Amino acid sequence: MFDFMMTEDQKKLRDEARAFTNWVPRELILDMDAEKIQFPHEYLKEAGKRNLLGLRIPKAYGGRGLGWVENGIAAEEIGVASYSLACLWGVGADIVCDAIVQFGTEELKQEIVVPLLKGEVYAAEGLTEPRGGSDFFGTTTRAVKSGDDWVLNGQKRFIVGAEGADWFLIYAATRPDGPPHERLSAFMVPRTAKGLETKYIYGLMGVRGGGAGRLLLTDVHVPERFVLNGIHGGAEVFQRMMIPERLGTAAMTLGSVRPAVEIATRYASRRKAFGQKIMNFQAVGFKIADCVTLMDTARSLVYSTCLAIDSGTVDAGRIRRMISQSKKVSSEAAWEVINKCMQVVGGIGYTNVYPLERILRDIRLSMIWVGTNEIMQVIIQAEWVKEYEKVHAKAPVRDVENDAPNAYEIEEKIYE
Ligand SMILES: Cc1cc2nc3c(=O)[nH]c(=O)nc-3n(C[C@H](O)[C@H](O)[C@H](O)COP(=O)(O)OP(=O)(O)OC[C@H]3O[C@@H](n4cnc5c(N)ncnc54)[C@H](O)[C@@H]3O)c2cc1C
């Protein structure tokens, strides 16, 4: 995020997050990428020890009670060490804990949030199913009431932290024939539940070592006290979770690609060709210029979105649009940036002498997960159309359509 906009406290937080990122052992990053490690427990323990988990969660549960801007500042710094680590930093403590704090009972907050923010336990979230992730409201995992419990059956796919999680936030259809927004319920399911099984089967291109696996639920009994926001209340939980899910991703994506710009800048300033530093060739120097411009453009949007939410004055639809834009713009900027950086570094950039190839493999996921960029476009379009109609109804602005010489040739304005 932009240092010149930060308060002294925010700068202190940034430096704390940087110090944590600097602590991350190099071997951990390499071993996770090589899949020698399936889940980095020690990383989350250390984050908990430093009170760097759940920054937005109230202090009463072990968080810091901070806002979105602070969360964005930290997420960018946390992303620097590795995309996979940043994802784990966010999923349990920021996303799942937020859902529990907003929609869970006091008992669940004490049982899950408090130890989670100490780094003692971890929580994953299960939305995506083998049959599809985008069509979330079409979830086919079912939960049926049996005595005091709900019995879950179904499968979830690509669940980060499936290896290593102690709790899973699982969405299941409790009113399968109901309208989409009333079909689902959100359950906190303990790993120890009978009938819950995980399979570590994905050969991921990047973002490795985070325990992404498949989740199988066969007659899993869950007591009603583990339901968030009441039965059939899953849609509201989902909508709320998509804020940290997408905005957090946007900020950490920028952090994860930032080192590539630094490496490419350093390389181009040293490497010579045709008797001079390659930075002197505009074809190279302008790539660096484009990279920092893309980064700052995306960062501006992410930062503005954080400010918009923190202000509490911007309506939910516009926030949804800005979050979706932030996720789309930052992930596409990051992809362009890493490709340009690799180009600047040339052949050696394509090898594992530099981490650019890992960053490229990691960053590619940013356009797919937490809602694909096409789904972001669906939301942006829908929210913009609603907003446009509202804004025009409330405060009419100059209708520039009429400032054309033949604007009043009504018979030429045919729409059907
Ligand atoms: C490494 C990794 C980690 C992940 N972690 C998690 C996790 O922890 N928890 C979790 O629940 N999920 C997780 N996911 C799942 C991820 O969020 C989904 O892969 C993603 O939402 C897309 O779902 P899908 O793969 O089923 O693709 P589909 O939904 O089948 O989409 C396929 C294509 O169709 C397009 N498409 C679909 N519907 C529309 C539409 N209406 N308009 C336009 N285009 C459309 C999509 O954009 C995409 O290009 C993870 C995925 C990966 C790869």
Residue nearest to ligand 1 atom 29, measured at CA: 134
Atom of ligand 1 nearest to the CA of 161: 8
Specify the pLDDT at position 269.
Answer: 98
Nearest to 111 by CA among 43, 189, 172, 53: 189
Alpha-carbon separation of residue 204 from 101, 130, 164, 336 (angstroms): 32, 16, 17, 21
Cβ–Cβ under 8 Å, residues 235 and 184:
yes
Q: Which of 38, 39, 127, 128 best tests ligand 1's pocket when mutated (most atoms within 8 Å of CB)?
A: 128
Specify the pLDDT at position 218.
Answer: 98
Asked if residue 391 has pLDDT above 80, the reply is no
Q: Rounded to an integer, what distance in angstroms lies between the CA atom of residue 187 and that of residue 154?
A: 13
Residue nearest to ligand 1 atom 53, measured at CA: 158
Banded model confidence at residue 390, pLDDT cuts 50, 70, 90? confident
Here the tokens at position 224 are 């009603």
Specify the pLDDT at position 395.
Answer: 73
Residue nearest to ligand 1 atom 17, measured at CA: 369
Specify the pLDDT at position 355.
Answer: 98
Specify the pLDDT at position 148.
Answer: 92
Alpha-carbon separation of residue 187 from 144, 167, 294 (angstroms): 12, 10, 39
Here the tokens at position 325 are 């834009």
Largest Cα–Cα separation, the chain: 80
What residues does ligand 1 touch, defined as CB less than 6 Å away? 124-128, 132-134, 158-160, 204, 207, 212, 365, 368-372, 374-375, 378
CA atoms within 13 A on the CB side of 184: 23
CATH topology (fold) of 125-231? Butyryl-CoA Dehydrogenase, subunit A; domain 2 (2.40.110)
Nearest to 215 by CA among 167, 134, 159, 144: 159
What kind and span of H or E run contains 394? helix 373-394
Give pLDDT tens digits for 289-308.
999 999 999 999 999 999 99
Give pLDDT tens digits for 79-103.
999 999 999 999 999 999 999 999 9
Nearest to 149 by CA among 167, 131, 174: 174
Residue nearest to ligand 1 atom 2, measured at CA: 158
Confirm or reject CATH 3.30.360.10 for domain 235-390, answering yes or no. no
Specify the pLDDT at position 95.
Answer: 97
Nearest to 122 by CA among 84, 93, 151, 99: 93
Here the tokens at position 2 are 């932009």
In the chain, where the domains are located: 3-121, 125-231, 235-390
Specify the pLDDT at position 382.
Answer: 97
- Give 134 Cα–ligand 1 centroid separation in angstroms: 5
Give pLDDT tens digits for 20-59.
999 999 999 999 999 999 999 999 999 999 999 999 999 9
Q: Rounded to an integer, what distance in angstroms lies between the CA atom of residue 344 and that of residue 347?
A: 9
Strands 142-146 and 149-159: antiparallel
Type of residue numbered 120 = E
Residue bearing tokens 């829908």: 382
- State if pTM tops 0.85: yes
What kind and span of H or E run contains 49? helix 41-49
Region 124-136: what's the mean pLDDT? Answer: 96
Return the bridge partners of 152, or none.
143, 220
Give pLDDT tens digits for 131-163.
999 999 999 999 999 999 999 999 999 999 999
What is the CATH architecture of 3-121? Orthogonal Bundle (1.10)
Q: Rounded to an integer, what distance in angstroms lies between the CA atom of residue 73 and that of residue 15?
A: 10
Residue bearing tokens 């419990």: 149
